[in-house]
Structure 1
Amino acid sequence: MTSHDFTQRFLFDETDVRGELATLDRSYVEVLAKHSYPEPVAQLLGEMLAAAALLCGTLKFEGLLVLQARSSGPIPLLMVECSSEREVRGIARYEEAEITASASLGELMPDGVLALTIDPRHGQRYQGIVPLEGANLAECLSGYFATSEQLPTRFWLNADGRRARGLLLQQLPPSRIKDAQARQDSWEHVVTLADTLTAEELLGLDNEVILHRLFHEEAVRLFDEQPVAFSCSCSRDRAANALISMGQADVESLLDEQQGEIRVDCQFCNEQQVFDAADITQIFAGGGTQTPGNTRH
């Protein structure tokens, strides 16, 4: 099977439905490598990464898409970011002692909410929030689109700690089929076919094989792959800007408290930026973040 990371769009030629498939291998492994996640957490984080990649192929924007789930349970936070260039990163917070291998999503994230945020480079920020309801993350995301009065959209997501994969189907505005009942029938038909896809098939089969397995009686066009990669947007300049926002007096006080070094950690990639007294003087003098500072990992 293809070993790189990508999304791939497909289109039904005779009905108003489009689809997207996501395959995350290396990027998923790189996210997991930054933290030691229990298996249920790693699985949910992989599913959310696949979902974010699918959504970036579906929603037209330039900027950043953020999927975030919060709860009062053993997993209080799942957060994934995907840029319009399909660069992904993700993180989870969890209480390991409270997590069991057989726990359901409702047990891991009770009283949860799911937020989808689009932060465009230009224009207004958008956020939608719905209760985290459903047997799995795919059902929750499908429910989000159902309640937010957007185009009917369904998700199928799976991850196993090595690979994260996703399938999305979305009904398009009327074009090929105008009759409302016929449109609904065609939508339900392709969704019913997609519901027969097993986790083993989604995780283990090529896209071409999956589409033939599900829709061999339909006219389906598969488009070119769009690469996905892990990338963290943290930098020394961003860490310096965060310190500047605190104000020089507070930063110098913190420097004294930390015995001459301020360490700024990135929660996503575990990279650490270290600033000493010379760095702080240089930053607040407008001299930038180059030497004499160091970056430590």
Structure 2
Amino acid sequence: MHQPDITQRFIFEHADVRGELVALDHSYREILAKHDYPQPVRQLLGEMLAAAVLLSTTLKFDGLLVLQARSSGPLSTLMVECSSGQEVRGIAQFAPDLQGADSITDLMPDGVLAITIDPEQGQRYQGMVSLQGSSLADALNGYFENSEQLATRFRLLADDQQARGMLLQALPVDRQPDPEQRTQTWEHLNVLADTLKPEELLGLDNQTLLYRLYHEEQVRLFDPHPVCFRCSCSALRCGTALISLGLEDARNLLAEQGGEIGIDCQFCNTRYTFDSESVEQLFSAADEHARSLH
């Protein structure tokens, strides 16, 4: 049996290629439990969660990686966040009727995918690509093929219970200095990865899966790292949103809503409430903080 909610790195001892495997069970189901998503949306959201975790492992930074797909189709928004500590959350927005829409081309026919890296220190980066191909993996593969980054291939799969992903990525020249040999090795490892069956990706533990694919290669599997669902919402963040309205508008909103403002987190459905006293305290504290900066 595979280990749930982990990401695990592997490398090929005699090739400049690394890999990563991700398994999401409890974290995926926790995210699905927050909303009543139809099956095609649940599947695509699971694939995006797996992709975000895989992408986060290719980066050396402390901060947040955000995958966001938008379209004018029945699935208007898919958004997943993964921290550098592999804490994930995700959300989808879709039309009430998805009749006949069960693939990414049906759900997001003119979709655009944005990959945002938001480090705690340093500059924010965003890359964009159209959702071309028959799957999210195809779109991500196309993004890396058209960029100047290292060659990267994704394999993604999800059902109602679990989400799985596999990544292969070329590394800088080290073990194989000959360009032709590097290309042949990269193609060979990907041809073998393409033989991976859905039931194998969903059902096998990582060691067995890698042996099934690469038993003639020397593969080193590293220790797994845990992945979990965690929402970054808080009363403080919601209070900051209220402050951005301005005091008079906040007071008017209080009056309109019967003396209590409720703010729901779209990701986890947690509700934060603010009465007149807490609203006045919020603005008083904000004013005091502003004065201390002058």
TM-score scaled to structure 1, two decimals?
0.94
Please say if residues 52 and 65 of structure 2, whose CA atoms lie closer than 8 Å, have aligned partners that are also in contact: yes
CA distance in 1, matches of 2:4, 2:192: 27
Other structure's SS at 1:273 match? strand
CA distance in 1, matches of 2:224, 2:99: 37
2:145 aligns with: 146
Shift of 1:22: 0.1
CA distance in 2, matches of 1:244, 1:148: 40
1:193 aligns with: 192
Q: Residues 51-76 of structure 1, C-alpha deviation per residue, up to 9 Å, x if partnerless?
A: 11111111111100000111111101
CA distance in 1, matches of 2:141, 2:71: 19
Please say if residues 3 and 25 of structure 1, whose CA atoms lie closer than 8 Å, have aligned partners that are also in contact: no
The one-letter code matched in structure 1 to 2:67 is L
Please say if residues 40 and 103 of structure 2, whose CA atoms lie closer than 8 Å, have aligned partners that are also in contact: no
Q: Residues 112-146 of structure 1, C-alpha deviation per residue, up to 9 Å, x if partnerless?
A: 10110000000000000011101101111111111
Q: What are structure 1's unaligned runs of at least 5 residues?
A: 289-297
1:75 aligns with: 75
2:225 aligns with: 226
Q: Which runs of 4+ in 1 moved over 4 A?
A: none
The one-letter code matched in structure 2 to 1:154 is R
1:40 aligns with: 40
Percent of counterpart pairs with the same letter?
Answer: 61
2:264 aligns with: 265
Other structure's SS at 1:192 match? helix
Shift of 1:187: 0.2
1:86 aligns with: 86
**Match runs of 1:204-215 below 5 Å:** 204-215=203-214
Please say if residues 6 and 23 of structure 1, whose CA atoms lie closer than 8 Å, have aligned partners that are also in contact: yes
Other structure's SS at 2:285 match? coil
The one-letter code matched in structure 2 to 1:177 is Q
Please say if residues 192 and 213 of structure 2, whose CA atoms lie closer than 8 Å, have aligned partners that are also in contact: yes
The one-letter code matched in structure 1 to 2:76 is P
Shift of 1:6: 0.6
CA distance in 2, matches of 1:99, 1:127: 33
1:30 aligns with: 30
Please say if residues 99 and 108 of structure 1, whose CA atoms lie closer than 8 Å, have aligned partners that are also in contact: no
Other structure's SS at 1:54 match? helix
Q: What are structure 2's unaligned runs of at least 5 residues?
A: 288-294
RMSD: 1.3
Please say if residues 38 and 96 of structure 1, whose CA atoms lie closer than 8 Å, have aligned partners that are also in contact: no
Shift of 1:4: 2.7
CA distance in 2, matches of 1:146, 1:242: 39
CA distance in 2, matches of 1:95, 1:81: 22
Shift of 1:3: 4.5
Other structure's SS at 1:58 match? coil
1:292 aligns with: none
**Match runs of 1:1-16 below 5 Å:** 1-16=1-16
TM-score scaled to structure 2, two decimals?
0.95
Shift of 1:98: 2.6
2:236 aligns with: 237
